[in-house]
């Protein structure tokens, strides 16, 4: 390899940063400028500190646990390319230690009496239902400001994210030491974003990547012939599906309480009608439904043989924004699973079908996925 070509490639990548900053300058407010400045700085720090996995494997100073995980990453990349038909294309060839438990912290928000998510517009990717910060303090400060505006706010640490091809994504310390099923699902999920992405449609893109991640992990363990690991992973997926349904049921009850409306594609919109229920009463009824969710989770958990997968999720006071954070990843998963089934499990055909949906109007692709999901209700892939 010509080492002199490396700075040139980095320069071409970072030529995007000033262009992004110019796009920001065309917008309004120092808060927006501050956000993009920290995003550029955070991404630069990751690029500047990453090391090639091959060099780390050749270095006798590399610890045994890290070495084993890096070797596993190489095997997962090869499987993703050959068996899952995902565009690996230089992703996860490098490793970076960001010296913190999460690479970014996402801020999500929704009105106190509505499940319509607040969205933010970004250059190149359109509107998304979250705002990411490379420091916890930055996320907390912005979240606190949103709360003063009357929003329910949820801050969640993120271990991995995709730059959608703008950069070659590295493996990070924030997820490399996860258990093998989680590491496999994370890599396949993020590579799924490289294959199909609907600009400005968080629910579609995250549900597609979630489907790819879970299906990829299932196929990984089948290919290894590790039946015990497969059964354990399938049990985890079933628990996740049950949890997601619990959240969906609660959101449906709250939508009815708030009087939220549904768009043609099924998206939640705050009602424009004047409320007939006083805020104090609405707040009390909201809390009653959230208390009911807690009780239902306790009952569900009793069926899991001691598993406590989602105890940390319930450790904080649940609000509208937190409920939406689950919806973004799982609302359309049944529809995508049905689409995969309709294509005979052929991943290439499945990707093509999903990509065709990205060319449909947003409302239409949401309608189709909800229809597919309804047809597949009650089924869980094995």
Question: Phi, psi (5° rounding) for residue 242?
Answer: -65, -40
Domain count, the chain: 1
pLDDT above 50 (res 3)? no
Closest CA to 180 of 211, 226, 238: 226
Q: Give the span between the Cα atoms of 92 and 1, in whole angstroms.
A: 18
pLDDT at 33: 67
Q: Residue 20 — pLDDT band, cuts 50, 70, 90?
A: very low
Q: Give the span between the Cα atoms of 40 and 23, in whole angstroms.
A: 13
198-226 mean pLDDT? 94
In a domain, 253, yes or no: yes
pTM for the predicted model, two decimal places: 0.83
pLDDT above 50 (res 233)? yes
303-328 per-position pLDDT tens digit: 999 999 999 999 999 999 999 999 87
Distances (CA, A) of 353 to 18, 326, 357, 372: 36, 24, 7, 13
Q: Give the span between the Cα atoms of 173 and 95, in whole angstroms.
A: 8
In a domain, 17, yes or no: no
pLDDT above 80 (res 27)? no
Distances (CA, A) of 323 to 73, 111, 207, 236: 32, 12, 15, 20
152-190 per-position pLDDT tens digit: 999 999 998 888 777 889 999 999 999 999 999 999 999
pLDDT at 236: 94
Domain boundaries, position 366: 23-375
In a domain, 9, yes or no: no
256-304 per-position pLDDT tens digit: 999 999 887 678 999 888 778 899 999 999 999 999 999 999 999 999 9
In a domain, 330, yes or no: yes
In a domain, 102, yes or no: yes
In a domain, 230, yes or no: yes
Q: What is the dihedral of CA 88, 94, 96, 102, to 10 degrees?
A: 10
In a domain, 8, yes or no: no
33-49 per-position pLDDT tens digit: 677 778 888 888 888 88
In a domain, 380, yes or no: no
């Amino acid at each position: 390899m010509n080492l002199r070509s490396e700075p040139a490639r980095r320069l071409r990548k970072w030529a995007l940063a000033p262009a992004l900053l110019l796009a920001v300058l065309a917008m309004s407010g120092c808060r927006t400028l501050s956000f993009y400045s920290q995003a550029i700085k955070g991404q630069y720090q990751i690029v500047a500190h990453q090391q090639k996995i091959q060099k780390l494997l050749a270095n006798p100073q590399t610890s045994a646990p890290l070495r084993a995980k890096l070797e596993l990453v190489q095997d997962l990349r090869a499987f993703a390319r050959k068996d899952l038909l995902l565009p690996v294309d230089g992703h996860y060839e490098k490793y970076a230690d960001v010296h913190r438990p999460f690479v970014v912290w996402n801020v999500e928000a929704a009105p106190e009496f509505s499940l319509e998510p607040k969205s933010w517009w970004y250059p190149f990717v359109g509107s998304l239902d979250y705002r990411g910060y490379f420091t916890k303090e930055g996320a907390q400060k912005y979240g606190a400001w949103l709360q003063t505006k009357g929003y329910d706010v949820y801050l969640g640490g993120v271990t991995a994210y995709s730059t959608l091809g703008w950069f070659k994504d590295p493996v990070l310390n924030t997820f490399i030491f996860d258990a093998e099923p989680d590491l496999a699902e994370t890599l396949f999920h993020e590579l799924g974003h490289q294959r199909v992405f609907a600009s400005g449609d968080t629910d579609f893109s995250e549900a597609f990547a979630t489907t790819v991640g879970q299906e990829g992990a299932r196929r990984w363990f089948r290919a290894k012939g590790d039946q015990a690991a497969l059964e354990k992973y399938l049990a985890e997926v079933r628990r996740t599906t049950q949890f997601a349904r619990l959240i969906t049921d609660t959101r449906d009850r709250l939508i009815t309480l708030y009087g939220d409306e549904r768009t043609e594609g099924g998206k939640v919109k705050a009602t424009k009608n004047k409320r007939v229920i006083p805020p104090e009463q609405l707040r009390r009824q909201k809390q009653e439904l959230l208390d009911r969710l807690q009780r239902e989770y306790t009952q569900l958990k009793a069926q899991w043989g001691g598993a406590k997968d989602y105890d940390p999720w319930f450790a904080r006071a649940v609000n509208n924004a937190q409920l939406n954070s689950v919806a973004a990843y799982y609302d359309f998963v049944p529809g995508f699973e049905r689409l995969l089934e309709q294509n005979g499990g052929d991943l290439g055909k499945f990707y093509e079908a999903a990509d065709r949906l990205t060319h449909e109007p947003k409302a239409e692709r949401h309608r189709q996925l909800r229809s597919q999901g309804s047809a597949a209700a009650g089924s869980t892939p094995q």
